[in-house]
Chain A
């Protein structure tokens, strides 16, 4: 048994959690919700242990470093951040519906990390450019940002589902009652974006401090940097639209989806452009 095996179990645990959240949303029974939350917590705990194991293992191999250094590790950490932030949000907001839309992203990230060709799950030694204390703070802030945007995205998706769900109040099986109210969703989207925006800003800044030490320039218009700036600007526009122009509801949901697409491109699409951040030829 190795930690990568455990991590592939985690993929299935998250899938189960996703299914339970879905049941909760569709059938409206609290039982499924509780089960889903419990499953997600178990998944998170198991994943944390596996990550710590991997971390320790890298030291046993004499190339010790935090497991945040290649595409596989970043995917796994992305999933971890999503589930971690989601569970905190669920605990604070006392609403389980976003789980059906957020947890699958974590599941997909784990699945991609485990099965996609070209994602190497071996522990690799750090190349000189990555041997920096800024690695941790840069990667952690960036991925917490990505995860927050994922939460906003999940809440945004529910917004689009709302009109599709029949809201007949006479029926005992009133499904729209299971969905959070549009106001709650709006708050969730806003909070996700605010948190993500602050984390992304920190991520960009820690990244440029690092770049200043590693590459001699705090900003070099590398595709990843440029796209992170584009993402930052999209969310800045979104926040301005809300705070200055008073945008709410559907428009914010649309922006959350657009922003998330930009996040995904920043994270993955950019790998296909030549650049210093590319995971593919690292």
Chain B
């Protein structure tokens, strides 16, 4: 009993600590700085918290072990000899007399009981014949199932924190990474494969709320794509025991320009997709182009890119506007005044900009947690245990039959470890069944 009390104390301690944790999380960081040293701000990973969790586990183990033998005794308890003082009326009892002889009654009731409960024990004494049956005796185990399941969950959490990791990584579209940053500043972790973000897609509902975040990922080993998949919120991807979760996204500083050009009026294929700093060849010449800037909207004139073309003839720089035709119409003679705005400045080439696209980066959570199966199993066990504990009851029935003059007297007694109201109903039900069996 002292140990049970200890358990309760352990239990009450726990919420206090957590409430404190909640409270402290609300404090401004400056005011709570000294608390950091006492590990109070990261309460769920503090030594005190671990200590309490161990105490709780210890209590669970000790209490369960302490009380288990008595529960086991109840499970194994034989129906015979009939517990002292059971008859008459120690439990819910029904008594009545019938005309049939004792032996007939016994055989009829035995078959009835066998149909009802599966197995029946029988004992003949000088007081008469006793039948005994029971059901739900494993209800006594329910509470231990619950305790064991909690221990399994705690064990799963420990396994997870010892052998797993949680990390975070940001990948720009088109980039591949192999290193992830561990949570809480615990350093960098090298993965034995690389992850590439091929594309990040963002969709919105009509009211502006986000609808979809989606990253198309490729997993690479030794430069070869092993697997590709789409990662969405609520739909993680896993690769080699490591799971990836869509966690956030960002706008990359680099925008993507879709650029095409023609030579002597002949359109060259294919369209180029370029970001700042990219270098491209101009076929048919010794010139090289460099993308100096990619702008979504410059000087209120829409998207534009600034190019540098280097050739043996020297370097030229100019802007390529997406809406150059409109700009020309609004400002006749512009290209003569401002050669810098002429997309055909480097002859015989003429550039055009199809569009400028926002380039995203995706934020992924990277997790390995070998404790998950334990926690999941513990959870299922917990629910099963709770149901066993609260809704199963150990019900025991005795029927005492003895000769009474010409006929026989039948006494039915039942005992249940919980839910007496439902049990009474069951006994009445049994009584009716016995009556019916006797009148046939």
Contacts and interface: CB of A to CB of B under 8 A. Distances in A.
Interface of A: 63, 124-125, 127-129, 131-132, 194, 197-198, 201-202, 205, 208-210, 212-219, 221, 223, 226-227, 229-230, 233-234, 236-237, 240-241, 243-245, 273-274
Interface-central residue, B22, B44, B387, by most chain A CB under 10 Å:
B22
B26 A273 contact: yes
B365 A209 contact: no
B18 A229 contact: yes
B392 interface: no
A205 B207 CA distance: 33
Contacts of B18: 226, 229-230
A128 B367 contact: no
B259 interface: no
Interface residues of B, number: 46
A11 B22 CA distance: 34
Given A132-B234, A197-B386, A237-B12, A216 B209 contact: no
26 contacts: A63-B205, A125-B209, A127-B211, A128-B232, A128-B246, A129-B233, A132-B234, A198-B383, A198-B390, A201-B382, A208-B379, A209-B379, A213-B235, A214-B245, A215-B245, A215-B365, A216-B166, A216-B243, A217-B365, A217-B369, A223-B22, A223-B25, A243-B143, A245-B4, A273-B26, A274-B25
B166 A226 contact: no
Given A198-B387, A201-B382, A216 B236 contact: yes
Interface of B: 4, 7-8, 11-12, 14-15, 18-19, 21-22, 25-26, 44, 143, 157, 166, 205-207, 209-213, 232-236, 243, 245-247, 365, 367, 369, 372, 375-376, 379, 382-383, 386-387, 390
B86 to A, nearest CB: 24
Contacts of A218: 372, 375
Nearest to B202: A128
Contacts of B211: 125, 127-128
B8 A237 contact: yes
B166 A128 contact: no
Given A128-B232, A230-B15, 10 more contacts: A128-B213, A194-B390, A198-B383, A198-B386, A198-B390, A205-B382, A210-B234, A226-B18, A230-B19, A273-B26
Interface-central residue, B8, B365, B387, by most chain A CB under 10 Å:
B8
Nearest to A236: B11
A116 B258 CA distance: 51
Contacts of B209: 124-125, 127
A63 B204 CA distance: 12
Contacts of A201: 382-383, 386
Contact of B207 (A125, A132, A216, A241): A125
Contact of B8 (A124, A132, A241): A241
A273 B207 contact: no
Contacts of B157: 219
A139 B25 CA distance: 26
Contacts of B22: 223, 226-227, 273
Nearest to B14: A233
B234 A240 contact: no
Contacts of B207: 124-125
The 5 closest A-B pairs by CB, nearest first: A216-B245, A128-B233, A125-B205, A216-B365, A205-B379
Nearest to A218: B375
Nearest to B213: A128
Nearest to B13: A233
A277 to B, nearest CB: 13
